[in-house]
Amino acid sequence: MAKFRYLPMTEQDEKDMIQAIGVNSVRELFAEIPESVRFSGNLEIPAAMSESALLKHMGRLAAKNASFDQYISFLGAGVYEHHIPSVVNHVVSRSEFYTAYTPYQPEISQGELQAIFEFQTMICELTGMDVANSSMYDGFTALAEAAGMAAAASRRKKIVVSETVHPEARQILATYAKGAGWEVVQVPAKDGLTDLEALEKLSDERTAAVLVQSPNFFGNIEDLGAVEKIAHAHKKLFVVSANPLSLGLLKPPGHFGADIVVGDAQPLGISASFGGPHCGYFATTKKLMRRIPGRIVGQTVDEEGVRGFVLTLQAREQHIRRDKATSNICSNQALMALAASVYMSSLGKKGMQEVARLNIQKAHYAKKRLALVPGVRIVHEQPFFNEFVIELDRPAKEINRELIKLGIIGGYDLGRINPAWKKQMLIAVTEVRTKEEIDLLAEGLGGLL
Amino acid sequence: MKNKQKALIFEMSQPGRIAYSLPELDVPEADNLPVELFRDEPAELPEVSEQDLMRHYTELSQRNHGVDNGFYPLGSCTMKYNPKVNEDVARFSGFAKIHPYQAGETVQGALRLLYELQKDLAEITGMDAVTLQPAAGAQGEWTGLMMIRAYHESRGETKRNKVIVPDSAHGTNPASATVAGFKAITIPSNDKGLVDVEGLKKVLGEDTAALMLTNPNTLGLFEEEIAVIAELVHEAGGLLYYDGANANAILGIARPGDMGFDLVHLNLHKTFSTPHGGGGPGAGPVGARGDLVHFLPKPMVARDDQGDYYLDEDMPWSIGRVKGFYGNFGVLVRAYAYIRTMGPEGLRKVSENAVLNANYIMRRLEPYFDLPYSSKPCKHEFVLSGKRQKKLGVRTLDMAKRLLDFGFHPPTIYFPLIVDECLMIEPTETECKETLDQFIDVMIQIAREAEETPEIVQEAPHNTVIKRLDEVTAARKPVLRWTKEKF
């Protein structure tokens, strides 16, 4: 009897096929695998579950997690709770999209290819850049790839990165650097922004690129104009990591002369999902486009002159260039890029400004409101987008443990990256937080401090 | 729908239309916004209604072929059915709406799932521990190579800078070796399509860091001398890396750990049924054996004495972090659900059926095409050569395009590079015999067309929404985005 609904082979099929092949058994098809390397036992994994048992089991696991549906979250630090329009899930659930592979056969992949072409355009529009690729694993690895592209373009090995860049992005950069042989120099922060004096001192003619993030890890908006002047001295490349949602409102890095802009499109219609899958994006200038990592879609015409789209500039890629490729990336986050495209199409020209405005307004209200709570101190007085740092009278970890009892997931405990900051908390406020919820956090903190 | 140009969403845009709904501003307006940092011009994004948006993307989806549309025998990509219940569970709010920085006690279900998946994948591959962090196969390869590097360095062996790959290897192998700071050395396969052991001996030495191998290899052949190969590599002081792209052939039948591999990556978007998404997201977990476990990326998910799950950051030998957070969690949820659905018996059946399907197609097509390696059964995939048809003026690319007319996605073509006019066919286990028979019939018809009416094949496809595209101009004069001025 058939037991596995994903396996259509019947006993009769098996018999017929064995006969057609000219063997006596399925076992014979594995005969050349030497006995010594053969696995004879049973895999020690749990027995098969029916669909209903699986749903129950998965439901129980899911129920052990505190989700945004039950709790009011002020967590950000690179991953944000935003409203996701219903259309996003409806489009990415179309199985013509999600069950397809990389569009190697353009004639039957025009849908995916055109959607990515539109994604590339939207990312260019938001970042103010000429060219964008089809996506990277996440914003952090996109930053490391940007460092790699800068090193290759400049033939230099020193990478200067601001300490206001997300700590995980810097950790990943350090891992990539070990393989690539880069020297990574970190520029300290001053009052929540990149210390420009230190940046000038630490970057020199051996430097391939200067990497900053804006809004930075602490939520503050960097002075990109000032960073650019230092970055472009000695022909270094200027790399900016940016939250794309903030670019609905903020001047795009391209406006400041950035050479490469990267980031994560998670805020654009992609669920937090415990950290992934999200969607790195990568944008650059025309000048550098032939060095870009990953897949790129280009416009062309077919034999009859009809406009169509293809994967292009493939001479950069691993399946052609092998060990000389600009990157080893193959699979990317295409479906997440589609989700981000649907989000950007849904929000459109006006909505992207409006959602960014709601974020900045609500975050400003929250900062002002929390500043009134005795025992809460505002740490930085810098221009900011939707996140800011507060200092508390007690360790953030303890406070968060109390807040959860009030139905609130508190901010990011900065003690996780620096013990000296254990009383500091990074608070994110997006458009989904109401005034009432912000007031509830203020009252909650007031009761705990 | 044939040959109809599809408008870009930008071309559908009309000022004033919207497809969004945002909450009202319910806080007092701030008077201290940094307005000087605001953009002068809004980003030129489309303005469409919600229905326009849905029609646009629905039409795009109709111009796309996925596994749910039809047979997709794309070799080395394992285009098996993507179970729908896995899509549902990954969207549970307890998985989709949780933040990676929540306190451990508020995400015990997610951590337990990751912990169990780490264990299951270790068991399936015969490894001691598995990291779930890498986002895709290529990132897994690079992660493994960084671990190899760290391992050799920890033993004071700093001169091991060469990674050996067979000429049949996936392009990502040599590319990952370069990114990890190694020099890739390519060795030719022997006339049986397997690693040439004598050739391998010649390149093994004090500078050998590792050998990267796919087993079964990209020709679909099991490397029978794997035990000897492993011994030789280890004797030379090198390590053995398993590229898991072809793991669908050996679940429960042979384990990389038992073959002598020290490190392995798996492509969950191939073997473990998670959807390819039109190019991603995937997941490329990496398993390690013995001392190599210490070099795995951090954090790992661990379990304490009380049975609580936590993120273990205390890994002094770790190569560090390779990707944000804990990997592509949503993909991991789907793979976990698949493993729970199949169980040990089911997984073994997966490989048996995948291999049976591949051999069936291979033997039935043998009279019509050149089979460069046919003396042994293939595993989950096999390669054909279009040499015979090429002599008639029909190239493999033409045959691939002709398959489109029949609603099939073509096999992988021109890879592996060592087979002339190569077609690499991987049916997977989820296809029924009737589908295989239809494909076989069409392939036989195409072989006949190549002889009798070659122009039908050469001019294919005939039934797709668009004809063959000019890829040369696309690369020479790249148009990589829409611009407003042009329209």
Render pLDDT for A325-344 as a digit per residue (tens, 0 to 9). 888 888 899 999 999 999 99
Token couple for B80? 């098996």
* B194 is a domain residue: yes
Higher pLDDT, B358 or B1: B358
The total number of structural domains in chain B stands at 2
Contacts of A86 (CB under 8 A, 6+ apart): none
Do B319 and B429 share a domain, yes or no? no
Predicted confidence (pLDDT) per residue in B167-217, tens digit: 999 989 999 999 999 999 999 999 999 999 999 999 999 999 999 999 999
Of B62, B279, B330, the CB nearest to A96: B62
- At residue A2, the pLDDT reads 60
The identity of residue B405, as a single letter, is D
Give the model's confidence band at A78: pLDDT under 50 very low, under 70 low, under 90 confident, else very high.
Answer: very high
- Read off the pLDDT band of B485 (50, 70, 90): confident
Full residue range of the structural domain in which residue B439 is found = 345-472
| Band (A321; pLDDT cuts 50, 70, 90) | confident
Same domain, B190 and B257: yes
d(CA B444, CA B211): 39
CATH of A86-343 among 1.10.10.10, 1.20.120.530, 3.20.20.140, 3.40.640.10: 3.40.640.10
Q: How confident is the model at residue A271 (pLDDT cuts 50, 70, 90)?
A: very high
Query: Which CATH number goes with the domain that contains B92?
Result: 3.40.640.10
Cα–Cα distance list, A313 to A427, B411, B473 (Å): 42, 22, 10
Question: For residue B236, is pLDDT > 70?
Answer: yes
pLDDT at B1 over 60: no
Same-domain check for residues B161 and B201:
yes
Cβ of residue B52 closer than 8 Å to a chain A Cβ:
no
Query: What chain A residue is nearest to B430 in terms of C-alpha separation?
Result: A7
CA A397 – CA B106 distance, rounded (Å): 13
Q: Is pLDDT above 60 for B486?
A: no
The residue among B307, B340, B373 that closes a domain is B340
Say how many CB pairs under 8 Å bridge A and B.
700
The interface pTM score, or ipTM, of the predicted complex is 0.98
- Both tokens assigned to A97: 């999209």
Chain A residues 239-298 with CB within 8 Å of chain B:
247-252, 255, 264, 271-278, 289, 295-298
Judged by a CB distance cut-off of 8 A, whether residue B62 touches chain A is yes
Tokens representing residue A17 in the block = 């096929």
Q: Which residue of B lies nearest to A396 if distances are taken between CA atoms?
A: B103
For a pLDDT cut of 70, what percent of chain B falls above it? Answer: 99
| Helix and strand totals (H; E) in chain A | 13, 17
DSSP A47: P
Look at residue B172 in the predicted model and tell me its pLDDT.
93
Backbone angles phi, psi at A208, to 5 degrees: -80, -45
pLDDT at residue A3 greater than cutoff 90: no
Q: Which residues contact A271 (CB under 8 A, 6 or more apart)?
A: A84, B96, B97, B330
Name the residue facing A68 among B97, B360, B461 (closest C-beta): B97
Dig out the tokens for B92 from the structure. 């549970």
Q: Distance between CA B100 and CA A276 in Å, rounded?
A: 9
pLDDT at A1: 47
Residue labelled with tokens 């391998």: B200
What is the pLDDT averaged over residues B448-455? 98
Restricting to B residues 284-343, those with a Cβ less than 8 Å away from any Cβ of A are 297, 319-331, 333, 337, 339-343
Query: Is the distance from CB of A271 to CB of B328 less than 8 angstroms?
Result: no
Domain ranges of chain A: 72-84+349-448, 86-343
Q: Specify the DSSP element, H or E, that contains A384.
A: none
Q: Inform me whether the pLDDT recorded for B2 exceeds 80.
A: no
Average pLDDT, chain B: 96
Whether chain B has a CB inside 8 Å of the CB on A15: the answer is no
pLDDT tens for B360-384 read 999 999 999 999 998 999 999 999 9
Query: Rounded to whole angstroms, what are the CA distances from A282 to A229, A442, B137, B387?
Result: 22, 38, 20, 41
Q: Say what the pTM is.
A: 0.98
The pLDDT of B117-137, averaged and rounded, is: 98
- Of B321, B340, B359, the residue at which a domain comes to its end is B340
The reply to whether B122 touches chain A by the CB within 8 Å rule is no
Give the pLDDT mean for B247-267: 98
Dist. CA A218–CA A226, nearest whole Å: 19
Task: Tell if the CB–CB gap between A39 and B253 is shorter than 8 Å.
Answer: yes
Which pLDDT tens digit goes with each residue over A103-162? 999 999 999 999 999 999 999 999 999 999 999 999 999 999 999 999 999 999 999 999
**CATH number assigned to the domain comprising residue B433:** 3.90.1150.10
Q: Contacts of residue A54 in chain B, CB cutoff 8 Å?
A: 85, 89, 337, 340-341
Q: Are residues B190 and B224 in the same domain?
A: yes
Kindly state whether A66 is in contact with chain B, defined as any CB-CB distance less than 8 angstroms: yes
In a domain, B289, yes or no: yes
Residues B174 and B140 in one domain: yes
- Residue B186 pairs in a beta bridge with B165
Mean pLDDT to the nearest integer, B457-481: 96
The reply to whether B401 falls in a domain is yes
Residue in chain A nearest B478 by alpha carbon: A298
Q: For residues B419 and B384, give the distance between their C-alpha atoms in angstroms, rounded to a whole number.
A: 8
Contact between B408 and B71 under an 8 Å Cβ cutoff? The reply is yes
Copy the structure tokens of residue B485.
Answer: 């001025």
Q: Which residue of B has its CA nearest to A126?
A: B43
Which residue of A6, A292, A382 to mutate against B (max B Cβ within 10 Å)? A6
Would you say residue B423 has pLDDT above 50?
yes
Nearest to B45 among A104, A140, A348 (CB): A348
Do B283 and B368 sit in the same domain of this protein?
no
Under a CB-based contact definition with an 8 Å cutoff, are residues A270 and A340 in contact? yes
Residue A208: pLDDT above 60? yes
> Of B320, B340, B360, which residue is a domain's last?
B340
Report, in angstroms and rounded to the nearest whole number, the Rg of chain A calculated over CA atoms: 25
Cβ <8 Å between A247 and B39: yes
B417 shares its domain with B319: no
pLDDT of residue B484: 84
A226 — contact with chain B (CB < 8 Å)?
no
Contacts of A404 (CB under 8 A, 6+ apart): A66, A71, A410, B103, B106
The answer as to whether B32 is a domain residue is no
A160 phi and psi angles, rounded to 5 deg: -105, 120
Same domain, yes or no, for B285 and B157?
Answer: yes
pLDDT value for A319: 82
**How much is the mean pLDDT over chain A?**
97
Q: Is B314 exposed, middle or buried (0-12, 13-18, 19+ CB in 10 A)?
A: exposed
Q: Does residue B483 sit within a domain?
A: no
* Cβ contact, residue pair B45, A349, below 8 Å: yes
From chain B, pick out residues whose CB is under 8 angstroms from the CB of A344: 45
Number of helices (H) and strands (E), helices first, in chain B?
15, 12
pLDDT beyond 80 at B26: yes
Homologous superfamily of A72-84+349-448 in CATH?
Aspartate Aminotransferase, domain 1 (3.90.1150.10)
Structural contact between residues A105 and B400, judged by C-beta atoms closer than 8 angstroms: yes
Residue A251 has its nearest CB partner, among B4, B38, B91, at B38
Whether the bond into B416 is cis, omega within 30 of 0: yes
A409 and chain B: CB distance < 8 Å anywhere? yes
At residue B487 the predicted structure's pLDDT band, cuts being 50, 70 and 90, is very low
Does B450 reach chain A within 8 Å, measured CB to CB?
no
Chain A residues close to B89, C-beta within 8 Å: 54-55, 58, 62
Topology agreement, domain A72-84+349-448 and domain A86-343: no
- Judged by a CB distance cut-off of 8 A, whether residue B74 touches chain A is yes
Between helix B50-62 and helix A334-371 the angle, nearest 10°, is: 150
What mean pLDDT do residues A275-302 have? 96
Proportion of chain A above pLDDT 90, given as a percent = 95
Whether A83 and B341 lie within 8 Å, measured CB to CB: no
Q: Could you tell me if B120 and B240 lie in one domain?
A: yes
